[in-house]
Amino acid sequence: MKIECVKEKFQIAVAKAEKITGKNPTLPILSCILFETKNNNLVIKTTNLDLGFELSVPVKVIEPGSVAVPATIISNFLNTTTNNKNIVLETKENVLNIKTENNNVNIKTLSPDDFPTIPTIHDGKTSKIQSKDLTNGIKSVVYSASVSSVKPELASVYLYSNEDQLVFVSTDSFRLAEKTIKMKKPALVPGILIPFKNAADIVKIIDTVDEEITLTAAKNQISFSFSGAYLVSRAIDGVFPDYKQIVPKEEKTKVTLLKQDLANSLKTSGIFSDSFSQINVAAESGAKSILLKTRNANVGESTVTVDATVDGESIAINFNERYIADCLPSIASDSVNLFFNGANRALVIRGTSDKSFMYLVMPMNR
C-alpha cells in the first residue's frame, strides 16, 4: 500500500478513530487502526468489539492495499509533527513508512487479516436525526446509568421512538433521567439498550459533527451513518424497566427557583456533606426560600438559604446532593421546578420552560 494525503485531514480522522480502539493485551489487534484503500479513499477502521467505526478520507492511491497500525503510536507521531501539508504512507514488509517534509519514520505493523469484521445492519429500521439532537439526548441522560454490570439493562441508555419523538432514558434505580427530542418526521426506533460506555463514546465521535445522521436500529445493534463515516454499537439483550409507572402524576409541594442559585448552593453544601453526599432539603409552605442542610462530623456543617417560591405542603427530606446537581446542566431553562410528593417519595425535577427533560430522584432514608 502506498498513498499520499493531506496531513491535517488524515490526523483528524486518526484522532477520531483512536477513541474507539480497545485495550486488550490478549488481542493486540484491537489497539490498532486498520487502513484500507478503496477507490480514491482511505478507509480507516477501529473497533473494541462493542463499537465499530469506519471513516473515509480522500487520498491519492499510488498502490492499493491494507495495513494495521498501533493507534497510539501513529496518533502520537502525527501530534508531534508540524508545518507539514502532505504525508506519504507506504507499507514495506512488516512496517509502515511515513514521510513528511521533516520526518521519516517506520512503525511496526500487524496483519490486517487479524482485524475483526465490523458488522453492518441489513434489516434495521431507519430514522433521521440531527447530530446535535442525538448528542444532546445522550448527554442529557447517560450520567444516570448504572456503572455496575450486575443488571446490564440499567448500565445503558434506553432509546425508543414515540410517533414524532425520540426518547432517551437511563436509570441506576436511585435516579432516572428522560430526554425527549422532537423529530421532523416520525421516528422508527424500537426500544433498544445502548451500553452506557458505548453511548459516551458515540458522543465523542459525533459531538463535532453538524449534519443529519441516519440512525438504523435492529434487535442487537444500532448504527449511525454520516458523511463518509459509519459507527455501529452492540445493543444489550434485556428489558428496560417500565419507568412510567413510578413517575408521580401529581405533587404535594412545588418549589420554583433559579437553576444557577440551586447549582451554586449545592456546591457550597457539598463541601460539608458526609461520605454519602446526604443533603436535607426543607421547604415551609408559602415561604420565599428553602433551606439546604449538610453535616460532616469531620468537617463541619452548613445551612444555605436559597430564594424560592413554595406552593403546597411543608416538606423536609434527604437526598443525595450530587444526584440533584448532576441533572442541572441538562435543563434548558433558567429556573427549575422541584416537585415533592411527601416523605419517602421521589422528587421530580423539571425546567419551568423546558418540557423535554424530566429527572426523578429517590430520597435517602438514612
Cell 401529581, residue located? 250
For residue 305, give the C-alpha cell: 438559604
Q: What is the mean pLDDT of each run of 10 residues along the chain (366 residues)?
A: 96 95 89 97 97 97 98 96 89 95 95 96 91 98 96 97 94 98 87 96 94 94 96 96 93 98 97 95 98 96 98 97 98 97 94 97 88
Please check whether residues 191 and 257 belong to one and the same domain: no
Residue 120 within a domain: no
Q: Do 323 and 249 contact (CB within 8 A), yes or no? A: no
Q: Is residue 274 part of a domain?
A: yes
Q: Are residues 39 and 71 in the same domain?
A: yes
Range of the domain at 73: 2-114
Asked whether residue 281 falls in the same domain as residue 203, the answer is no
Q: What is the pLDDT of residue 366?
A: 61
Residues 108 and 137 in one domain: no
Return the C-alpha cell found at 9. Answer: 485531514
Name the nearest CA neighbour of 165 among 178, 153, 150, 152: 178
Sequence-separated (6 or more) residues with CB below 8 Å from residue 151: 238
| Cα–Cα distance measured from residue 326 to residue 216, given in angstroms and rounded to the nearest whole number | 30
Q: What is the rounded distance in angstroms from the CA atom of residue 290 to the CA atom of residue 184? A: 41
Kindly calculate the radius of gyration of the chain based on its CA atoms and give it in whole angstroms.
Answer: 25
In whole angstroms, what is the distance from residue 82 CA to residue 80 CA? 7
119 falls within a domain: no
The C-alpha atoms of residue 290 and residue 282 are separated, in whole angstroms, by 6
Residue after which a domain boundary falls, among 203, 224, 244: 244
Q: What number of CA atoms fall less than 13 Å from residue 89's CA on the CB side? A: 28
Residue 14 counted as domain residue: yes
Q: How far apart are the first and last CA of the chain?
A: 65
Give the CATH number, domain containing residue 183. 3.10.150.10
